[in-house]
Chain A
Amino acid sequence: QKEVEQDPGPLSVPEGAIVSLNCTYSNSAFQYFMWYRQYSRKGPELLMYTYSSGNKEDGRFTAQVDKSSKYISLFIRDSQPSDSATYLCAMSNTDKLIFGTGTRLQVFP
């Protein structure tokens, strides 16, 4: 079993839809949870950062962490074609990040 599991997709949604992206993990020691966005032929860029459990909102993006279920989510409201990218979850208990495989998202006009 991988430490971090993420559905690779692809996920295709119409513009304006609410998108839900998820990861599960097995290591209960993880304390730091991140979502990165990676456009084609670019490096990952940090979208959201959460410490321990709870919710965090930033504009159209909401990150949720449920440590009891070992489950994290990223919600994108009012999705735009510019949100089309691969979304990687990452987590750590120190400074070593463990990434999921990434979910490819396509938002069509």
Chain B
Amino acid sequence: EAGVAQSPRYKIIEKRQSVAFWCNPISGHATLYWYQQILGQGPKLLIQFQNNGVVDDSQLPKDRFSAERLKGVDSTLKIQPAKLEDSAVYLCASSLWRTETQYFGPGTRLLVL
């Protein structure tokens, strides 16, 4: 079974630029999560999708972050404009259903200069 795929793996941008991350969850998984993991901290949930609907985006900085999950499969997370404090690893995870085990992708490392 293929795992959660993410791209790109690394991204370096300057502040005020925009960036987008892509996630392909495990086939058949209805729930998809985006986490932000700042160096030395645990992952923090940004947004959770159930199929293509948003379940929880309470910790998403909506003035600069946006996310979508088209057709209930792939998802993109966008930051526009980026700030220095957005430097982090962005992890995508998926689960069969909301209360099932979450499987994580390798993450995208973002460095904002």
The chain A residues found within 8 Å of chain B, CB to CB, are 4, 6, 8, 36, 41-46, 49, 88, 90, 94-97, 99-102
A43 touches B105 (CB 8 A): yes
Contacts of B95 in A (CB 8 A): 95
In addition to A43-B4, A49-B101, 8 A-B residue pairs with Cβ atoms within 8 Å of each other are A4-B42, A42-B106, A43-B91, A46-B101, A88-B42, A95-B31, A97-B43, A99-B42
Residue count of chain B within 8 Å CB distance of chain A? 23
For this complex, 18 residue pairs linking A to B, each with C-beta atoms less than 8 Å apart, are A4-B42, A8-B40, A41-B106, A41-B107, A42-B107, A43-B4, A43-B91, A43-B93, A43-B105, A88-B42, A95-B48, A95-B99, A97-B43, A100-B42, A101-B41, A101-B42, A102-B40, A102-B41
B45 touches A46 (CB 8 A): no
Q: In whole angstroms, how far apart are the Cα atoms of A65 and B87 in the complex? A: 34
Contacts of A46 in B (CB 8 A): 101-103
Q: In whole angstroms, how far apart are the Cα atoms of A42 and B106 in the complex? A: 5
Given contacts A43-B91, A95-B99, contact A90 B42 (CB under 8 A): yes
